[in-house]
Amino acid sequence: MPYKSFEEYNMKVTDDVKNRYESIIKDLGEDTQREGLVKTPERAAKAMQFLTQGYDQDPVEILKTAMFKESYNEMVIVKDIELYSLCEHHILPFFGKAHIAYIPDGQIVGLSKLPRIVDVFARRLQVQERLTEQILDCINDTLKPQGVAVVIEASHMCMMMRGVQKQNSITTTSGFRGQFEKIETRNEFLKLIGK
């Protein structure tokens, strides 16, 4: 059976972006008819749509599909959530992991929804600071827990392969709401994620 891709793309957008990529590649001095580059503009157009699909997804609705009444009221942590995003300044990747905790207040959420929220916001042109805040606010405003904490650690290709070229630098951002604004709760969370 031949390979079949299940990804769907808006063909109008694909064609438009493909033509733009072809122009960029030509402007950079390459031959777009060279064997290795013939299909590159279309591949790049589809890749860009995939990497920015978060614009077409509603994170609030994702959370609402898996909220359940539950009396549990201790800390829930999902850590080491892989994330991949594009820096809005250079459209270069940044990647790393997110750690999320919340303290329920009568409602819990399906655990898989937290990584999905990370993906929705990461699959947009981003800065790490905004990404952290968007994840935090979405969970806080939708689930209405006693508190939410988000820590993101990421490596940025815009710092690693251009600009200052610092390959070993890691950027850490954090945000805390509710009970996590208390130092003892925050410290418990940071200890549990190994920070």
Catalytically active residues are 87-90, 128, 156, 158
Q: How far apart are CA 135 and CA 150, in angstroms?
A: 7
Q: Does 138 carry a binding-site annotation?
A: no
Q: Does 99 carry a binding-site annotation?
A: no
Q: Which residues are annotated as a binding site?
A: 87, 90, 158
Q: Which residues are annotated as a binding site for Zn(2+)?
A: 87, 90, 158
